[in-house]
Amino acid sequence: MPIIIFTLIITTLFLPPSPIPPTHPTLLSGLTSLDWTGTILLISSVTALILGFSFHTSYLIPWSSPTVWGLLLGSILALGLFVLQEKRAGEGAVVDFKNLRSKHRSAIMASGFLLSAANGAFVSPPLSISRRDVVLMVDVLHVRST
């Protein structure tokens, strides 16, 4: 904690002001200009995708499980709603689809997205708990599988 306080003091005293002018006069006006619906849909889509792959790989739940398919289909649905929202959002959109017109940029973004999803599914420490812990959680929640 002292290191954080020391860093904040040094940064406040010696960091020069930004040469780029702020885009919004106040924090509240900046927050209201964000595309919150698009942000929530994007986070939902990526989270459902990572959880769907994680449940299959980390917890050894079969592909035929409704949990895995439900999460993967939910991810696709949220992604579709995200695309529709971003086309409506205009200037304040989370993703500018003009960047996707280039095949080169599109391939780079798609590979980055898939690599991030794979990294979250196979490496993410919070999701890599043992199968015994999952069974205990299911028993505590009284979830019955079919």
pTM equals 0.60
- Tell whether the model's pLDDT for residue 123 goes beyond 80: no
- Tell whether the model's pLDDT for residue 125 goes beyond 70: no
- Tell whether the model's pLDDT for residue 126 goes beyond 60: no
What DSSP designation does 142 have?
T
Residue pLDDT, tens place only, 73-114: 999 999 999 999 998 887 778 888 887 788 898 899 889 988
Give CA–CA dist 21/144, Å, rounded: 56
Dump strand ranges (E) for 4-123. Answer: none
**Whether 67 contacts 61, CB under 8 Å:** yes
Whole-Å CA distances, 57 to 53, 142, 145: 6, 23, 18
Give CA–CA dist 15/46, Å, rounded: 35
Residue pLDDT, tens place only, 18-77: 787 878 888 888 888 888 999 999 999 999 998 888 887 766 778 888 988 999 999 999
Extract the tokens encoding 129: 């708990």
State the CB neighbour count (10 A cutoff) for residue 108.
11
The whole-angstrom distance between residue 27's C-alpha and the CA centroid of its chain comes to 23
